[in-house]
Structure 1
């Protein structure tokens, strides 16, 4: 189950085959944007999937996420709860984007699993994305306009909502997967365009033994 948890989290953090540059707009579309090159945030993830052999997987997780384009890495630490048995695991995930390798660490069991990244990292909203619509977050004078884009990569249907304030903050993500069939949702909070904890990229001893 640790493997499935890391794979489904990765699907929400990375989406396959995105272009590296914003492209020209269609009529009445807002400007496409690129995510910050460095940021820290908290993400809340809900997952429900139908696995082979008629099994199912569902979980609720909260991660502190750090992304650094210069390092080519994503680091995540947090608590994952597998449903319906309410099994809790303190997880740590390190993604080396350049080498296309992911390390999934169970901090309770002191174990590390190495696997290949299944997708390319998000850089910009691609020209293949279809504009879905806008919405407003906040209240009173504290409002952020956001845009939702649909990205269809033939394996997954992704609804990605980003802020229109120049930062292009990934506010929410919803993935409808075909194989395995399932749904994943992600909500971003506590966003900061900087790296709060660079130690999240440091490889623990249990992973160093794999190299």
Structure 2
């Protein structure tokens, strides 16, 4: 190996050593429960309209059973409208249930449940500590399909979610900031995945049939 080759090898190794690292080895628990406090801002470029909403969610994530559910209280500060919505997604069945008041909408879905692991193409943004001594790792995840990205903060010790910020690609731009609270392993309320009787009503079934 001549001196030039040695020099170039040194340069490449040096550059790689200072680049942010990537890893997909950090994984959330397969089952967890949390409360989320969110602030969502939206700007639709085509309609030239903007909105701001404050959201509180009780979230139930069950990768083992391939299901996801949350109860959401939304305060749309732009339209001055408050709503409560229950979402249940059964990935094995390919169904998404949306319950608002006494109305249930059932949709067919074909997507797979997102893995609980940080993706392999994520970039590490380093670590930091909270005042209580909790050490956190920060990851940047690009959305290569739809544009936009998200930044996720997790505990270093067991990869529990702490915070998340998401920005979507246009023309409907959405910026969502989420703070995870009371995160616990396991499902605190298994009945959260129970499908309400109203979702089996004949009117709901009719609507579901025509969504396909």
In structure 2, stretches of 5+ residues that fail to align are: 1-15, 206-212
**In the TM superposition, what are the counterparts of 1:32-71 in structure 2 within 5 Å?**
32-51=25-44, 52-71=46-65
Return closer, same or farther for 1:138/1:104 CA change in 2, 3 Å cut-off.
farther
Q: Does 1:103 align with 2:97?
A: yes
Alignment coverage as a number of residue pairs: 180
Quick one: which of 110, 129, 135 aligns to 1:145? 135
Q: CA RMSD in A?
A: 2.3
CA distance in 2, matches of 1:134, 1:42: 23
Q: What does residue 5 of structure 2 align with?
A: none
CA distance in 1, matches of 2:55, 2:89: 18
Displacement of 1:177: 0.9
Q: What does residue 183 of structure 2 align with?
A: 191
In 2, are the aligned partners of 1:102 and 1:117 still within 8 Å (CA)?
no
Displacement of 1:131: 0.9
In 2, are the aligned partners of 1:67 and 1:74 still within 8 Å (CA)?
yes
Q: What does residue 195 of structure 2 align with?
A: 203
CA distance in 1, matches of 2:125, 2:135: 14
Displacement of 1:69: 1.6
Residue-by-residue CA offset, 1:118-176 (whole Å, 9 max, x unaligned): 7742421111001112111233xxx111111111122221111111012x111111011
TM-score (norm 2): 0.76
Quick one: which of 120, 132, 144 aligns to 1:127? 120
Could you say which structure has the higher helix fraction? Answer: 2
CA distance in 2, matches of 1:72, 1:120: 6
Displacement of 1:60: 1.0
Q: What does residue 82 of structure 1 align with?
A: 76
Q: What does residue 3 of structure 1 align with?
A: none
* Rg larger in structure: 2
Displacement of 1:194: 1.6
Displacement of 1:47: 0.9
In 1, are the aligned partners of 2:54 and 2:75 still within 8 Å (CA)?
yes
Return closer, same or farther for 1:57/1:96 CA change in 2, 3 Å cut-off.
farther
